[in-house]
A and B are shown apart, each in its own frame.
Chain A
């Protein structure tokens, strides 16, 4: 006969297990695929019978993937940096200042966030071709920045609102200029928020497929999610399944490690501002 507490624990354990299995099953499937030898690719086995690094070696042998990886990193980092810097300034204004058109600004940024990106693909395609930034880094950085800014402003303004107004007043009375107050008092306190926002924006840019596939035509600016779609097998009779799986793992793993490492920081950031007690 199990105690009430024991039963509760077992119950939760079972539920947790189901959720974890459900969430990790596709991840494991892609990892398993990436390690399968081409001959056993379609055997449907859950654990590879013949382990091989061939798929990984394969994708790094041609410039197709490495070039895309460089594009991905470059574009995501630049877009994230700009979005976070602009977002920080905008969020500070939204949280702290009273200015005409504030509600309009918030409304507009919400609108951008809710706009279905697919509907903008054709206009963007045409605009970028006219401007000559189609298939270039700026051609992707600009839309990424635009679509992640609302997210950045929203998350960051929540953080700024959490920082007591009094701290800034205290800094000013203590002899700080507005810039010093921001740099020495507000910014350090908002850092976890900026960091969290940065990660969220980075993941958005890193994972995007729609813009990457629509606004590029060569390897000049094609990011990994788009490049994967262009993978070919070693011969025309071979499916590129293994290579795709390996590439997917390569671009997923850094993000997973990143989030796991900074998970505590992100959560701490989300609950920051507990200054008064």
Chain B
């Protein structure tokens, strides 16, 4: 167990491509940190640099207080779980889990005890003598976890360990990994492209994009106070809705209606020299069926025609098209491309609202919606900064 400190870590490939740029993060002993971002954002490269599988171009990496930049992976005392599991196909489960200990010339009896202990924790005892080829996906995943925990390393590094499992198993294993990490208290760095995994597992989440750290914080903080358009769109499912808006006096004119600008917001916008053309972000749950709202404290209402109604029991998701067209921004285009939304060929700009199951919204029917204007985010289209971020209040 150890703390891991990344100080200005940069990865530049020989061809000049910058994979990770000036990564600063201090991971406390026993902390569970998630690196999340779309493919190609440098999260796996960062993990590989911590593991020692890739050279660090600039910056220093300290594990347990010692600079390990030039140490081989074997001298860093870290364990890694790979997306492909990377189980040794010619060894049975027992040998797979004990491989690291055998290399470390650990006493045979000790290896056996440790392997059996890990197998018991992971419910693999009856599979110890089988080859990986004869195991199911979930069992293989557990063997990969077992291989990491028998070593009792300073840190676990996990590279999308659940991506190869089917949806149901993934949720189960997610819970197991979280429980296991709490129990062992081992510092863990976990890479995923799945924001749900990031939100549910991590003590802290690091959102990356194009080799740059966008924001670091607890899952709730990232959700409530995203620092820019990218984080806002990436965290949350369904994602935040973005609308083009024009600032006029005390109003933000959008295609869903005019949103009032209160004193706090106006001060923030003035302080930051906000342009007139802005992007407004509204989380799906900040909509509600107007018929279900008794008093409307800080909201406005608008009317939209429901195109799709999806009921998931506890909530009803309502999709409708916003007339104004999508809010233009490079970050949003990248988000859309990453989530596959760009390929669905849908015309117009889809907006999603999460309503109470008591709603009587019906497909094809107009619906009066209430928007909680106290919780909207306002972004600068150039650069994507969140102008309503709480840390900007003092700026």
B80 on the A face (CB < 8 A): yes
B88 touches A167 (CB 8 A): yes
Q: Chain A residues near B73 (CB, 8 Å)?
A: 169, 172-173, 175
| CB of B292 closer than 8 Å to a CB of A | no
B51 surroundings in chain A (CB, below 8 A): 169, 173
Decide if B94 is an interface residue (CB 8 Å cutoff).
no
Q: How far is the CB of B136 from chain A (nearest CB, A)?
A: 9
Contact with A176, one of B86, B103, B137 (Cβ below 8 angstroms): B103
The reply to whether A276 and B72 form a contact with Cβ atoms under 8 Å apart is no
Contact A175–B84 (Cβ < 8 Å): no
Which of B53, B83, B89, B157 meets A172, CB within 8 Å? Answer: B53
Q: A173-B51, A176-B74 are in contact. Are A166 and B82 (CB under 8 A)?
A: yes
Q: Are B133 and A173 closer than 8 Å at their CB atoms?
A: no
Point out the residues of chain A lying under 8 angstroms from B80, CB to CB: 169-170, 173
Closest to B89 in A: A275
Residue of chain A at shortest CB distance from B103: A175
Contact across chains for B86 and A277 when beta carbons are under 8 A apart: no
Q: Are B84 and A164 in contact (CB under 8 A)?
A: yes
Q: How far is the CB of A37 from chain B (nearest CB, A)?
A: 54
Q: Please measure, in the bound complex, the distance between the C-alpha atom of A173 and the C-alpha atom of B82, giving whole angstroms.
A: 11
CA distance A185 to B88 in the complex (A): 7
Contact A277 B103 (CB under 8 A): no
Within the assembled complex, what's the spacing in Å between the Cα atoms of A276 and B51?
Answer: 22
Instruction: Tell me if B78 counts as interface (CB < 8 A to partner A).
Output: yes
Who on chain A is nearest to B137 by CB?
A277
Size bracket of the B interface: 20 to 34
The answer to whether A189 and B89 touch across the interface, beta carbons within 8 angstroms, is yes
- Chain B residue, CB-CB nearest to A272: B89
Residues of B within 8 A of A173 (CB): 51-53, 73-74, 78-80, 157
**Does B249 sit at the interface, judged by CB under 8 A?**
no
> How far is A173 from B90 in the complex, measured between Cα atoms in Å?
18
The listed residue with most B CB atoms (<10 A of its CB), out of A164, A172, A175, A176, is A175
Closest chain A residue to B147 by CB distance?
Answer: A174
Distance between Cα atoms of A117 and B82 in the complex (Å):
47
Question: When the two chains form their complex, are residues A180 and B103 in contact, meaning their CB atoms are under 8 A apart?
Answer: yes
Taking CB atoms, residues of chain B closer than 8 Å to A189 are: 89-90
Cα distance A189–B83 in the bound complex, in angstroms: 20
Q: Which of A169, A180, A274 has the most CB of B within 10 A?
A: A169
Q: How many angstroms between the C-alpha atoms of A164 and B157 in the bound complex? A: 19
B317 within 8 A of A: no
Q: Tell me whether A277 and B100 are in contact (CB under 8 A).
A: no
Q: Is the CB of A276 within 8 A of B84?
A: yes
A233 at the interface (CB under 8 A from B): no
Q: How far is the CA of A167 from the CA of B83 in the complex (A)?
A: 11
B42 to chain A, nearest CB (A): 17
A126 sits at the interface (CB 8 A): no
Q: In the complex the two chains form, is A169's CB within 8 Å of B82's CB? A: yes
Closest to B48 in A: A169
Q: How far is the CA of A274 from the CA of B131 in the complex (A)?
A: 13
Interface core residue of B48, B86, B133, B157 (most chain A CB under 10 Å): B86
C-alpha gap A173/B132 in the complex (Å): 19
In the complex, A276 Cα to B87 Cα: how many Å?
A: 9
The answer for the CA separation of A171 and B157 in the assembled complex, in Å, is 14
Query: Could you say which residues of chain A place their CB within 8 Å of the CB of B137?
Result: 277
B100 nearest CB neighbor, chain A only: A174
Contacts of B84 in A (CB 8 A): 164, 166, 275-276
B72 to chain A, nearest CB (A): 7
A170 to B89, CA, bound (A): 12
State the A residues within 8 Å of B (CB). 164, 166-167, 169-177, 180, 184-185, 188-189, 274-277
- Other contacts beyond A169-B48, A275-B89: 17, CB < 8 A: A164-B86, A166-B84, A167-B86, A169-B51, A169-B82, A172-B73, A173-B51, A173-B53, A173-B78, A173-B157, A175-B73, A175-B74, A176-B74, A176-B103, A177-B74, A275-B133, A276-B164
**What are 15 A-B residue pairs whose CB atoms fall within 8 Å in the complex?**
A166-B86, A167-B88, A169-B53, A169-B73, A169-B80, A169-B82, A170-B82, A170-B147, A171-B99, A172-B52, A175-B103, A176-B74, A185-B88, A275-B89, A276-B164
